[in-house]
Amino acid sequence: MYLKKLSIQGFKSFVSLTDLNFDPGITAIVGPNGCGKSNIVDALRWVIGEQRARVLRSGKMDSVIFNGTTSRRAVGLAEVQLTIANNRGVLPLEYSEVILGRRLYRSGEAEYLLNGVECRLRDITDLFTDTGMGAGAYSVIELKMIDEILSENTQDRRRLFEEASGITRYKKRRGDALRKLDQMQSDLARVRDLTDEISKRVRSLKRQATIAERYLRYKAELRTAQMNLLKLEYSRLLTDEKNFEDEIIKISDTCAGLTAQVRASGAQFEALRTRFVAEEKRAQRNRQAFVEHEQRIIKLEGDLRLEEANRQTIAQNVRRLKVDRETTAVEREALASQRESTEKQFSGALSEANKTSQLLDQASTERDIVRDQLKTVELQREALEETVKNLDQQKLNHHRHFDLLQGRIIHLKEEQNRLKSEWKSEEKANETASREAEDAAKAFQEAQKKLDRARGARQEAEVAHAALERKISRAEGDIGQVERELAAKRAEVKILEDLVSTYDFFPDAVRYLLTEAKDIQVTTLSDLITCAPEYRAALAAALGPYGGCIVVETERVAKMAAERLRSEDMGRAYFIVLENIPIFLSSSEPPPDALLTLVALRDEVYRPVAELLLRDVFLVESLDMARNMLDENGGKAYRYITSQGEWVDGRGVLYAGGSEEGGTYSHLSRRDSLRVAKDACSELQRQVDHEKSTLAGLHEEQRQIALYEVIDRAREADQLYVDADRTAQKHAQIRELGSGQLNVLTRRQHQIAQEIANLEEEAQPGSGQLVHIDEKLSEAQENMKSIDHEIQSCRGQLEEMQNAYLHAHMSAVQAVAKRERLEGDLQRIEQRQLHLHHQTEVHEEEHDALIQMQQDASVKISELAEFLQVERTCRSDLNEIKTEDSTREHELRIELERTNEHVRKAQRSFQAAKEEETNVQIKYSAVKARREDLQVRAREEYQFELSGMPEFEEVDDVILREEIQETERKLQSMGNVNALALEEYNKQNERLEFMMEQRTDLEEAERVLVQTIKEINRTASKQFLDTYVLIRENFQKLFCELFGEKAKCELDLTEPDDVLESPIAVIARPSGKRPVSIAQLSSGEKTLTAIALLFAIYLIKPSPFCFLDEVDAPLDDANVDHFMQMIRRFSTETQFILVTHNKRTMEMANRLYGVTMQEEGVSSLVSVRFEEAVALGE
């Protein structure tokens, strides 16, 4: 496990998005003071949950947000993301890569993210518990923390020990247990007080319960007498109700006869109205045809005017184009004249340039000839000077050299004998070196082959591993995204389920039966019928108040539900009883255009309900179409409804207005939304499972690659290659040195032999040479005088030639400049001529197109005029037909009104009979209501059913009333009686027993909790002491490594009786020193002591990473070497990130980052070489 990447944006001085990529091993961060290096440390602390603004070097938490500079505005958000490679499973998550994020807005709002999903701070804290990481752990060490670790305040130091020993979670559990114990003891005291109080109250209630028992007996007798009186009155009401029912049947027969008469008159009226509607439709079609011809005439007139205007526009464009063509022709003629003039000037300039160029070449040639002559003469003089000098030196040396030749010959012969002996010895050594070099070369070739194979395998593995890493990252991101969507959708489902289950749009009685009366199996009609969303408003309007009706299978269930509503005083509800619905309604197929065909039922058992309510309901596009459909069907009891929920029926009722909210519509909408949300949840869950399966496959592929094994094999092959190369080079150098030495000895022998021969030859008498040297010396001196005179003459000629060359060069430059200027003018004229030629061609094409458009417009105008004349003739004919239709329509309307009057008279007779029936119904309803009231009273007051009682023997109601009065007198004589005493006594007695049980349970829980705390203390103390002993031993070893064998140190628990809270003292005595306290040590000694303590902890429980902020600042070079050796030693288990200014620390780093502040107040990041890092650090 290691830190992979840290992304910072808007945090302190890092305003732009800055990414730091970390590798296992050692990474150094360098930069000058004040550039923002420590802000990287603060960002790391902040993202892993640090809540103390002081630790982040800020006064308050929102100070970490970039506050702007003189050239940049402040930002409103600070965000840091930390990517952790969880390849060793240290973090308790199933992901191989964990991304932590933290955001802080200037408004004070904060967010914590775990793999892109919002989480709590506690989730981050729990994630790092006992891992050696986290805001308060030892994974981030600053220079100032050295003093804190070794200070008298031991809390920071103790926290390091607790984190290393893994007792943090134990202490947290102990704290929770202690808080629970305090709460439990408080609850126990409260229960004891309640138990004493309830005991006193139970004793008092026992006396009152005896009086209440006698009082309840009288009440029972009174209740029996009153119930008998109710039964008597109920029996008499049943008789009256039967008489009214017979009268209603008689009147209903009369109404049936009148209904037949009304239907016959209505049929005649409907036939006549059908004729009228047909005639009206035919007249409407004629009127529509007239309007269509009128509109076509208007359109043709408009098109004719538009074409006339278009033809005028084309004529204007033709005239404009003619002017442009004339202007272009004039310009072309002017350019032709200008080009002719410029070409003549260019020819003259070209001739002049050629002439001046020839003159320049001639002058240059003459000048070079004279210059060469001068150089030749000067070289001759230098040669003669050298000859004279050499002859003088030869003459001088000849005498000296002759004296030394004999001694030199003797010395060379001695050296020749010694070289022969050395050559034989060197030849034997060279043969041995050749054999060793050949063996080393073969080993090097084999190592090179192995290295190539290992590098190829590593490259393939790294490519495959990187590709899988990207796929895994994408897969984990996809999983996080889908899981967030799934969580949001599940929350939506929960909200919708809560909303649907509340039934808040229905009456209290319906809501009670559905939510409280769980033992009664009921449902609403709107829960049984569904439809497509576009028909929802129509279905809700069609159901109307029936949408909230309770649907039950039998009348027994309906009565049970009604009885429950009465007993709970929850009002009334409408019930639809399936067994009471006529069978014939569900036996035939509905019409194909009925709304019933557009809905779906939860179960076919509810089909009769749907047919009862929706069979005669039809879906139409608008209310106007609904009215037409009603007219066509003769006012039958149909209802036509629009998709917006507006409707009209055969009775003349119209339901229309704004959009509908609440009631059945809202319930249907919520239920459909819930179904859609559940389907979406199922699909998202399937996606999550599929993505996780894919991710598991990718992890398996990545595991099979075994990248680190391939890398290790490549490193081994690389090391073998380096060793073989070094060995081969060594032996090759030895062999080359031996061969070179042999060659040197051989050449030296030949040189000595040749030299001896030459010296012997030179040793012969040389007087003749001296005479010859004197003659040559005189001749050379005479030649020098002649050459000096010739040099003076050449120099004069060269000066004249140079002046002539400069004059010719000036003339040539001026001629060339004139020629280039005229050449540029010619090119511009040619380009303009080409442009004008192209423009002329375009004008010609445009002119032809405009002429063609003029002709087309004229033809179209003629055609439109002909069409217009035809349409006007048709309009005149249709106008005459429209007048005839109006006459026929008026005659039919008069006949229709006369027939309608007959229908109304029949309806009035029917209405009178219905009114008589209504009066009887009212009387019947009054009797029935009184009877039902008696039933309700019997049910609510006396809890029995009058309707199901057996045959009742009638008695005198006067006797019943006298018994009631006598019993009431007895009750009054008892005075005020606590009727609830008996119930209260039983209740309080039960409560006392319950509280005694609670008291016993709390006492037992207190005992168990105390035992648990003792067990936690025992386990945590043992674990802490074991870790403490190991840390102390490691601390002593590492302290001696850093300060020498004579150095001494010790860790001491100052309160050994309380191991879990005892301060930990640190005693440190470097070699030759006996300081009284840690404070007397130097800064460097304190740093090394703290480092020894920190790495002593790492030996027990290494942190996956360690961030050290300028910890090496107080150390000298020697101690820095010790420090870095220890860092290198621990870097195999821990990833180190060092903020430093020290060159030696930089040399040991695997990777360097440089932090600069090129813009004032804004930090930026660069990857640097070692030399640049040293410069930045200084």
- Average pLDDT over all residues of the chain: 78
pLDDT tier, 78 (very low <50, low <70, confident <90, very high otherwise): very high
Task: Give CA 909 to chain center in angstroms.
Answer: 77
pLDDT in tens, 557-588: 888 888 888 888 888 888 888 887 765 444 45
pLDDT at 1082 over 70: yes
Considering only 14-28, 327-341, 817-831, 1159-1173, which range has the smallest mean pLDDT? 1159-1173
What's the whole-number mean pLDDT along residues 399-413?
Answer: 66
Residue 614 lies in a domain: yes
Distance CA 1064, CA 1076 (A): 16
Q: Specify if 630 maps to a domain.
A: yes
Assess contact for 6 and 1116: CB atoms under 8 A. no
Residue 111 pLDDT? 92
pLDDT of 354 higher than 90: no
| Nearest C-alpha neighbor of 563 from the set 1074, 125, 944 | 944
Give this prediction's pTM: 0.37
**What's the rounded Cα separation, in Å, for the pair 351 and 929?**
134
* 575 φ, ψ (degrees, to nearest 5): -125, 140
Flag whether pLDDT at 1170 surpasses 50: no
The per-residue pLDDT for range 42-52, each reduced to its tens digit, is 898 898 888 88
DSSP string, 362-403: HHHHHHHHHHHHHHHHHHHHHHHHHHHHHHHHHHHHHHHHHH
CA gap 510, 548 in Å, rounded: 7
Residue range 399-408: average pLDDT?
Answer: 63
For the segment 347-372, the average pLDDT, to the nearest whole number, is 79
> Residue type at 520?
I
Region 1058-1084: mean pLDDT is 81
953-967 pLDDT per residue, tens = 666 777 777 888 887
The per-residue pLDDT for 617 is 85
Q: At 33, is the secondary structure helix, strand, or coil?
A: coil
CA–CA dist 318, 309 (Å, integer): 14
Look at residue 1174 in the predicted model and tell me its pLDDT.
Answer: 45
The number of residues in the chain equals 1178
pLDDT tens digits along 1006-1017: 888 888 888 888
Question: What is the Cα–Cα distance from 664 to 670, expressed in whole angstroms?
Answer: 10
Q: Give the mean pLDDT of 995-1013.
A: 81
pLDDT band at residue 442, thresholds of 50, 70 and 90?
confident
DSSP 1079: G
DSSP state of 527: G
Neighbours of 997 (CB within 10 A): 10
pLDDT value at residue 403: 60
Q: How high is the pLDDT of residue 864?
A: 77
Contacts 24+ apart (CB under 8 A), 809-813: 809/360, 809/363, 811/356, 811/359, 811/360, 812/353, 812/356, 812/357, 812/359, 812/360
Position 588 scores a pLDDT of: 54
Interval 86-100 mean pLDDT: 80
What does the DSSP 8-state code read for residue 73? P
* The two structure tokens encoding residue 352: 């002049």
- Is residue 626 within 8 A of residue 648, CB to CB? The reply is yes
**Does 542 fall in a domain?**
yes
Question: CA dist 102 to 11, 47, 117, 1046, 1055, Å?
Answer: 11, 6, 11, 49, 40
Joined tokens for residue 348: 């003259």
CA 336 to mean position of chain CA atoms: 69
User: Token pair for residue 798?
Assistant: 């060269």
The conformation of residue 19, written as its DSSP 8-state character, comes to E
How far apart, in whole angstroms, are the C-alpha atoms of residue 529 and residue 603?
A: 9
pLDDT of 665 above 90: no
- For 12, which DSSP code? T
Asked if the model's pLDDT at residue 765 lies above 60, the reply is: no
Distance CA 230, CA 940 (A): 13
Return d(Cα 375, Cα 537) in angstroms, integer. Answer: 114
Determine the Cα–Cα distance for residues 986 and 997; give it in Å rounded to an integer.
Answer: 17
Closest by alpha carbon to 302, among 1084, 782, 732, 867?
867
Three-state secondary structure call for residue 132: coil
Band (pLDDT 50/70/90 cuts) for residue 80 is very high
Output the six-digit token pair for 97.
């890569």
As a whole-number percent, the residues of the chain with pLDDT over 70 amount to: 86
- Do the domain assignments include residue 393? no
Q: Which residue has the higher pLDDT, 212 or 1125?
A: 1125
Tell me whether residue 865 is in a domain: no
The pairing of beta strand 550-552 with beta strand 523-524: antiparallel
Q: Indicate the pairing of strand 599-601 with strand 529-531.
A: antiparallel
Look up the CATH number of the domain holding residue 534.
1.20.1060.20
Give the structural domain span for 524.
506-650
Q: Which helix (H) or strand (E) holds 50?
A: none
Q: Are 59 and 73 in contact (CB under 8 A)?
A: no
CA distance 917 to 259: 14
Give, for 199, the enclosing helix (H) or strand (E).
helix 168-502
Looking at per-residue pLDDT, the higher value among 72 and 457 belongs to 72
* Residue 1173: per-residue pLDDT: 45
Is 50 exceeded by the pLDDT of residue 1169? no
Q: What is the mean pLDDT of residues 135-145?
A: 71
Interval 148-169: pLDDT, tens: 777 766 676 777 777 777 777 7
Read off the tokens for 262: 């009304």
- β-bridge mates for residue 81, sequence order: 7, 101
Range of lowest pLDDT (654-663, 763-772, 811-820): 763-772
Q: Is residue 484 part of a domain?
A: no
Taking residue 142's Cβ as centre, other Cβ atoms within 10 Å add up to 19
pLDDT digits (tens, 9 = 90+) for 245-268: 888 888 787 877 777 777 777 777
What's the confidence (pLDDT) of residue 398? Answer: 67
- Residue 784 has a pLDDT of 74
**1171, pLDDT greater than 50:** no
Q: How far apart are CA 495 and CA 497, in angstroms?
A: 5
**For residue 160, how many other CB atoms are within 10 A of its CB?**
21
Indicate the DSSP class of residue 939.
I
Give me the mean pLDDT over the 509-537 stretch: 80
Does 133 reside within a domain?
no
**Between 20 and 535, whose confidence is greater?**
20
Residue whose C-alpha is closest to residue 544's, from 655, 653, 624: 655
pLDDT of the residue at 590: 66
**What pLDDT digit, counting tens, does each position of 496-507 carry?**
676 666 676 677
Q: Which two tokens stand for residue 880?
A: 């005459």
Contacts of 118 (CB under 8 A, 6+ apart): 111, 112
Q: Which helix (H) or strand (E) holds 984?
A: helix 981-1043
Q: Which of 321, 297, 325, 302 is nearest to 854 (CA)?
A: 321
Number of domains in the chain: 1
Local structure of residue 153 (DSSP, 8 states):
-
Average pLDDT value for residue range 1101-1112: 82
In this prediction, residue 102 carries a pLDDT of: 93
Please indicate, yes or no, if residue 604 is contained in any of the structural domains: yes
pLDDT computed for residue 135 by the predictor = 61
Please say whether the beta carbons of 324 and 843 come within 8 A: yes
